[in-house]
């Protein structure tokens, strides 16, 4: 068990992977589901597999503008020896053909997407047809069986699983739902995420800070991030460094939310009360206190009433990194969704030294020079907001290495979607 207990040593740290293992082992992250309108489901996560109730397109249709034919009628056709065909009308878009073609040598004009008439099996493109008169055309090219035809189950087959549970719904997957006639979509309910900022020095954004005070940054950083990740954020305001007030607010948030995030107070200063509150609100309390990550080492994960609660660092860059690394991971796990990053390979712009023992997340900008992308670090302290507002993304530096050489290949992960 990862719980350190009452006499735990602060910064008896776990690695990022160990922290994820704790999340996976200690929480049952199944949310309730709901049916929502298809127009509202962009960015939501499917709560069950979608199995096709029909074939798509459901009929044989032409993939080109041309003429529906029997392919055998065109065998051997060429520009020097075209095949003569009897034109029997045309197929109307969105309509069943009014007649079938029963005799050899017959054809019908058909637009892209039109339904093939009975008795035909292929379509010759209009470019290879010369029209002689209203009743006769010449085909100057041979074609194969089924050429330019989409079969009735070629796109989607009856009974096929077209979208799996855990799929993050985006415009293309939503268009699939529409094609199946599914207008009420089963999705996981948005996790309710309580957000609490702590600190005597923190004031709300609309107030003018006095000397020694700063405006609340992290509440709005986290609030926006939760929305981006499919959650429902709930702000509980700024709580001063007061144990009773923080205890009451955290207890209320735990009762009302699926996940609680407390920004600030996770270190070991005299006024840092977050760890004490988490440990005293219920068993098992704190699961770990400290991660081998830079920035973001003073991070807490606790468990109250089977619900996760994070104590996040108060410094904005540290808070952003821990959110991106662990909170987002937990939110997606709640919804059965696994986010996959596809980093951009770049060359590093300089020699950079780091201490061994901690995985580091270093914000960078990207510039393109010729055919190469160059990643340049933003060297800022974790208390500074500018580090991630200027950054395109970040690189992960393994805890067992001491830095990066100039021109070394690195992989840059985007901060935002």
Letter string b/e over residues 155-191, b meaning 16 or more CB atoms within 10 A of that residue's CB:
bbeeeeebbebbbbbeeebbebbebbebeebbbbbbb
User: Of 305-309, 326-330, 332-336, 383-387, which gets the smallest average pLDDT?
Assistant: 383-387
Which string of b and e fits 369-378 if b means at least 16 CB within 10 Å? eeeebbbebb
Per-residue pLDDT at 338: 79
Indicate if 61-150 has the same CATH topology as 16-32+190-334. Answer: no
What is the structure's pLDDT at 354? 87
Instruction: Give residues with Cβ within 8 angstroms of 225, minimum separation 6.
Output: 320, 323, 324, 327, 328
Which of 5-19, 92-106, 155-169 is least confident?
5-19
252-266 pLDDT, tens per residue?
999 999 999 999 876
Q: Which helix (H) or strand (E) holds 150?
A: strand 149-150
Half-sphere exposure of 218 (CA within 13 A, CB side): 33
Q: Name beta bridge partners: 184.
A: 37
Cβ atoms of 116 and 100 within 8 Å: the answer is no
Q: Please determine, for residue 9, whether its predicted confidence score (pLDDT) is greater than 70.
A: no
Please provide the DSSP assignment of 179-241 as one string: HTT--EEEEEPPPEEEEEEE-TTEE-TTS-PPTT-EE--HHHHHHHHHHHTT-EEEEEEEE-S
Residue ranges covered by each domain of the chain: 16-32+190-334, 37-52+164-188, 61-150, 344-414
pLDDT band, very low/low/confident/very high, at 13 (cuts 50, 70, 90): confident
Which pLDDT value is given to residue 10? 52
Residue 373 — very low, low, confident or very high, per pLDDT cuts 50/70/90? very high
Overall CATH class of domain 16-32+190-334: alpha beta
Task: Give the number of other CB atoms < 10 A from CB of residue 85.
Answer: 26
The CATH number for 344-414, chosen from 2.30.30.230, 2.40.340.10, 3.40.1190.20, 3.40.367.20, is 2.40.340.10
To the nearest whole percent, how much of the chain has pLDDT over 90? 73
| pLDDT exceeds 90 at position 337 | no
Q: Tell me what the pLDDT averaged over the chain comes to.
A: 90
Model confidence pLDDT, tens digit, residues 81-91 = 999 999 999 99
What pTM value is reported for the model? 0.81
Nearest residue to 281 via CA among 239, 257, 248, 241: 248
> What topology is assigned to 61-150 in CATH?
Molybdopterin biosynthesis moeA protein; domain 3 (2.170.190)
Predicted confidence band of residue 225 (pLDDT cuts 50, 70, 90) = very high
Q: How confident is the model at residue 384 (pLDDT cuts 50, 70, 90)?
A: low
261 and 327 Cβ atoms separated by less than 8 Å: yes
Q: How many residues does the chain have?
A: 417
């Amino acid at each position: 068990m990862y719980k350190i207990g009452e006499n735990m040593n602060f910064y008896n740290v776990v690695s990022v992977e160990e922290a994820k293992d704790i999340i996976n082992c200690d929480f049952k992250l199944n949310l309730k589901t709901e049916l929502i309108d298809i127009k509202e489901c962009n960015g939501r996560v499917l709560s069950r597999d979608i199995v096709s109730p029909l074939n798509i397109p459901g009929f044989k249709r032409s993939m080109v503008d041309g003429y529906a034919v029997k392919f055998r009628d065109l065998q051997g056709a060429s520009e020097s020896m075209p095949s003569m065909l009897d034109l029997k009308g045309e197929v109307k878009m969105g309509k069943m053909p009014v007649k079938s073609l029963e005799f050899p040598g017959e054809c019908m004009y058909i637009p892209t997407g039109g339904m093939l008439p009975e008795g035909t099996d292929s379509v010759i493109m209009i470019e290879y047809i010369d029209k002689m008169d209203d009743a006769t055309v010449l085909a100057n090219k041979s074609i194969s069986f089924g050429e330019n035809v989409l079969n009735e189950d070629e796109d989607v087959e009856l009974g096929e699983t077209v979208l799996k549970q855990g799929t993050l719904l985006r415009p293309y997957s939503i268009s699939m739902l529409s094609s199946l006639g599914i207008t009420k979509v089963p999705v996981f309910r948005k996790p309710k995420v309580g957000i609490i900022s702590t600190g005597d020095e923190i004031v709300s954004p609309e107030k003018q800070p006095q000397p020694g005070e700063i405006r609340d940054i992290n509440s709005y950083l986290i609030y926006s991030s939760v929305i981006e990740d499919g959650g429902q954020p709930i702000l509980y305001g700024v709580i001063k460094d007061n144990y009773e007030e923080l205890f009451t607010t955290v207890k209320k948030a735990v009762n009302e939310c699926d996940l609680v995030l407390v920004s600030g107070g996770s270190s070991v200063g005299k006024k840092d009360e977050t760890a004490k509150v988490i440990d005293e609100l219920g068993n098992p309390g704190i699961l770990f206190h400290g991660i081998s990550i830079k920035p973001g080492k003073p991070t807490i994960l606790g468990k109250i009433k089977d619900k996760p609660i994070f104590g996040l660092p108060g410094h904005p860059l540290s808070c952003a990194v821990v959110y991106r690394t662990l909170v987002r991971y937990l939110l997606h796990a709640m919804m059965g969704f696994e986010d996959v990053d596809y980093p951009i390979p770049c060359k590093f712009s300089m020699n950079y030294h780091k201490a061994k023992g901690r995985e580091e997340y270093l914000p960078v900008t990207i510039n393109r020079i010729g055919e190469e992308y160059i990643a340049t670090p933003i060297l800022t302290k974790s208390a500074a907001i500018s580090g991630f507002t200027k950054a395109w993304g970040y690189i992960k530096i393994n805890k067992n290495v001491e830095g990066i050489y100039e021109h070394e290949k690195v992989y840059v992960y985007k901060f935002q979607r």
